Amino acid sequence: MLINNSEKIFFLKHPRLVRTFSSSRSLDLSLEYSSNSFSPLSDNDIQPSLHKDKKNRSVLQPDMIEAKKSKNKLNKKNRKLISVDPDDLMFTEKSAEVLTSNALNRSLPKSSKNNKQRKRTKIKSNNSLNNISDYLNNNNHQKQDDNIKSKDILIDRPLVVQHLSSKLNVPETEIITYLFLRGFSATINQIIDIQVASQVAKHYGFIVHHESTEVNPTNSNESLCHNFIQSIKRPPIVAILGHVDHGKTTLLNSILKTNLTQRESGGITQSLDGYEIDWPYNSLTYRLVFIDTPGHEAFVSMRSRGVQVADIVLLIVAADDGLKSQTIESIKYILNKKLLHIVAINKVDKFNSNVSKIREDLAAYDIVDKSWGGQSSIIEISALKDQNINLLLDNICMLADSHNFTANPDQLAQGIVLEANLDKQKGVVANLIVQEGTLSIGDFIVSGIHYGRIKMIFDSCKNKIQQALPSSVLQVLGFSSIPQAGMSFQLVNNEKEAKRKSLDATKYTSSSSSVNMLNNRITLESFQGLSVLKQVHVILKTNTQGSMEALMHSFSAISQEKVQINVVSASSTSLSNTDLDMALASNSIILGFNIYISSNIRSAAKKSNIVLQNFEIIYDLIDYLNNYMLDLLDPEYDQVLIGTATVQTTFSVNRGFAAGCLVNTGKLQSKCTIEIYRNAILMYTGILDSLKHIKDDISEVIVGNECGLMCINYHSWQKDDVIKAYELKEKDRIL
């Protein structure tokens, strides 16, 4: 650096930070320096580097040692005197990050009062100023946009306090304090009902929505990476959707030439099953994969998983029944996710079918047939009589041909867990559908926090195979624990990587589930202190996780204003003596769904007076639990007016005073409920204990007759008192 036409070298003794300026200030590119900040170096200060080793060590001169000691003392003194103005900001061009005054205050030492008047080096740059201003302006605009968006919140299910806190971006302690000040003591893991959560959100200025505008399939955040390098054509996956009893399984029977309906309890689908067929089209053989989904309202999670893996949706509508609730739900799936679809109007052979009405109803949901100028294919079929089944399959092949579904078989396999359960003989059984790659025996597999090594693979026909290509529906043995139905899975190279991914997934796994969402909820009534709920404790055992999800969904749909369901345990494992001990300790009932119960377990439960029920149809289990909850309710009565009477006289008897009365309307009955009015003012409500005619005890007195009556707890009779008699009729119990 040239200063006064001479070259000098300076070293920085007190480094300063670049300071930000407002745009209104003038820019000065001059460099200010002082003797305190920069000092010239003498020739003695610049020493050649000394090489030191064991054989040849440099010897320092005494004056050099003294200079070094002085320099160290000066450096220590200068470090104590560092002074930084909190208004200073540091700008880094590489990362474009700005450290705020709060960050500086946390990371830098505080300045002493003696150094506040020290001069600061100021380097001003127009480019740096513009960059910082643009960054801050963009950041402010982004924060404003985020604040506007954050005011809308979706609350469509009961929430744990901790999850509500993260949704609202409000500390848990504030929410707990808010509830406490309104008379309810909550914990961080307490379940809050939808209405209470909405009140909390509105208190913090949020706009609450209870319905989502889009379909969020299970674990949609775990998207699969599709690699199209060296891709091959794969079979299309066709999900069959529709309302219950509209003929979905009957259509599969017609396609597969089997009788699946006889295998299903109650003749209804209660699981998610996959089937494969080969169909000739255009002189080629096409493999088609069908996913049969249940149509009952409770199996919403299974239908969602079917949509999640589907390439094409086959919507079944009964010609004699029209569009029902699950039909409309399926249409929303199709429209929101923009899925390829074909509509099959089934049961057109029935005399009361109305195909034109169904086409009009579908058009109202923007599903218009190509013959009407739309984009959808609507085919009229009869699954029972095999009418137009060939045409339907040809249309599926045509649609698959036009979109050319591909996958890479050379990469590590990825897909979705359709179902999972614990089999007593086989161990953990997982039903998978492969979407990418090839899955083989011996591969390491990971799904969420669960992992294992594949031991056996069965295809859709229950045949053992060594490997499976994309679009295969499989049954796999090898998981060390039961994976979550609906979770994605992937193969990894070795067990170490599998354990690492499992451990990483543990950090993001929610501690709450649909099971405990029913337990210990803060409802609006309990929040306001208006109700004390009774509880029914349930231990639930199901054949698969999908069945457990469906039952939990049904339980949440049961009104719990008077009796609350407390699920002590829910699992898809076999029933054991441990479950009996748990039921005995918690006074729980055990409900099984399509599980095997040994005779020893049944006899042990009977001996311990434990309620143990097993069901094959979901309707029956829900009805049983509903009736069990009704039996826990206290009876409620309606008062029905049966007669009136007027007091004519009063007289004393051994046990107090009695009234002689004339029945004006209806009748009076012994042990009925009566109300006594005097001058239109209610004086007493109670039971008519004794009713006599002359000296004989009678059960009732009809209109126009006189009688004597007495109440043990009331003796203040007066002439002309009016008596109204009521009969109590028990109300129908409702939850």
Does residue 531 or residue 12 have the better pLDDT? Answer: 12
3-class DSSP assignment, residue 700? strand
Architecture of the domain spanning 233-406: 3-Layer(aba) Sandwich (3.40)
Give residue limits of the domains in the chain.
152-209, 233-406, 414-510, 514-522+532-632, 637-730
At residue 262, does pLDDT exceed 60? no
Nearest to 515 by CA among 467, 575, 570, 468: 570
Nearest to 416 by CA among 302, 286, 572: 302
Query: Which stretches of 392-525 are assigned E, i.e. beta strand?
Result: 406-407, 414-423, 427-436, 439-440, 444-447, 450-458, 464-465, 467-468, 473-479, 488-492, 521-522
At residue 67, does pLDDT exceed 70? no
Contact 493, 445 (CB under 8 A): no
Nearest to 560 by CA among 513, 583, 526, 588: 526
At residue 590, does pLDDT exceed 90? yes
At residue 442, does pLDDT exceed 90? yes
Question: In sequence order, what DSSP letters do the residues of 535-573 get, joined into one string?
Answer: EEEEEEEESSHHHHHHHHHHHHHS--SSEEEEEEEEESS
Residues 611 and 601: their CA atoms lie apart, in Å, by 12
Nearest to 569 by CA among 580, 553, 554, 556: 580
In the 3-class helix/strand/coil scheme, how is 262-304 assigned residue by residue? Answer: HHCHHHCCCCCEEEEEEEEECCEEEEEEEEECCCCHHHHHHHH
Q: What percent of the chain has pLDDT over 70?
A: 71
CA distances from 75 to 8, 34, 80, 640 (A): 22, 18, 9, 99
For 57, the token pair is 């060590």
Residues 264 and 476: their CA atoms lie apart, in Å, by 22
**Tokens 């003498």 appear where?**
42
The per-residue pLDDT for 525 is: 53
Residues 572 and 482: their CA atoms lie apart, in Å, by 9
Per residue in 264-280, pLDDT tens? Answer: 555 566 777 788 889 99
The per-residue pLDDT for 69 is: 65
- The CATH class of 514-522+532-632 is alpha beta
Residue 280, number of CB atoms within 10 A of its CB: 12
Residues 318 and 316: their CA atoms lie apart, in Å, by 7
Contact 521, 175 (CB under 8 A): no
The per-residue pLDDT for 12 is: 60
At 508, the pLDDT band (50, 70, 90 cuts) reads: low
What interhelical angle do 300-309 and 325-337 show, nearest 10?
30
Residues 689 and 672: their CA atoms lie apart, in Å, by 8
Residue type, 503: L
For 322, the token pair is 């029209």
Residues 619 and 694: their CA atoms lie apart, in Å, by 59
Q: Measure the CA dihedral 223/224/227/231, to 10°.
A: -130
Nearest to 534 by CA among 612, 636, 634: 634
How big is the CA angle at 579 (ends 573 and 585), to the nearest 5 degrees? 155
At residue 13, does pLDDT exceed 70? no
The per-residue pLDDT for 265 is: 54
CATH superfamily of 637-730: Translation factors (2.40.30.10)
At 62, the pLDDT band (50, 70, 90 cuts) reads: low
Contact 709, 661 (CB under 8 A): yes
The per-residue pLDDT for 603 is: 92
Q: Which CATH number fits domain 414-510: 3.40.50.300, 2.40.30.10, 3.40.190.10, 3.30.360.10?
A: 2.40.30.10
- Provide the β-strand partners of residue 458: 464, 475
The per-residue pLDDT for 728 is: 85
At residue 307, does pLDDT exceed 60? yes
At 345, the pLDDT band (50, 70, 90 cuts) reads: very high
At residue 436, does pLDDT exceed 80? yes
Nearest to 243 by CA among 307, 292, 296: 296
Residues 546 and 218: their CA atoms lie apart, in Å, by 12
The per-residue pLDDT for 122 is: 40
The answer to whether the 233-406 and 414-510 domains have the same CATH topology is: no
At 647, the pLDDT band (50, 70, 90 cuts) reads: very high
At residue 100, does pLDDT exceed 60? no
Across 445-451, average pLDDT: 91
End-to-end CA distance of the chain: 89
CA distances from 722 to 51, 678, 712 (A): 122, 7, 18
At residue 229, does pLDDT exceed 70? no
Q: Measure the CA dihedral 321/324/329/332, to 10°.
A: 70
CA distances from 70 to 76, 82, 612 (A): 10, 19, 89
Residues 301 and 307: their CA atoms lie apart, in Å, by 10
Please report how many Cα atoms fall inside a 13 Å half-sphere around the Cα of residue 418, on the Cβ side.
25
At residue 108, does pLDDT exceed 60? no
Residues 37 and 33: their CA atoms lie apart, in Å, by 6
Please report how many Cα atoms fall inside a 13 Å half-sphere around the Cα of residue 63, on the Cβ side.
2
Mean pLDDT of the chain, nearest integer: 76
Query: Which stretches of 166-252 are assigned E, i.e. beta strand?
Result: 191-192, 207-209, 232-233, 237-242
At residue 99, does pLDDT exceed 50? no
Nearest to 674 by CA among 461, 665, 636, 683: 683
pTM assigned to the model: 0.59
Query: Which stretches of 448-514 are assigned E, i.e. beta strand?
Result: 450-458, 464-465, 467-468, 473-479, 488-492
3-class DSSP assignment, residue 29? coil
List the 284-292 sheet strands across, edge first: 273-281, 284-292, 237-242, 312-318, 340-346, 377-380
CA distances from 499 to 316, 496, 528, 552 (A): 43, 5, 47, 31
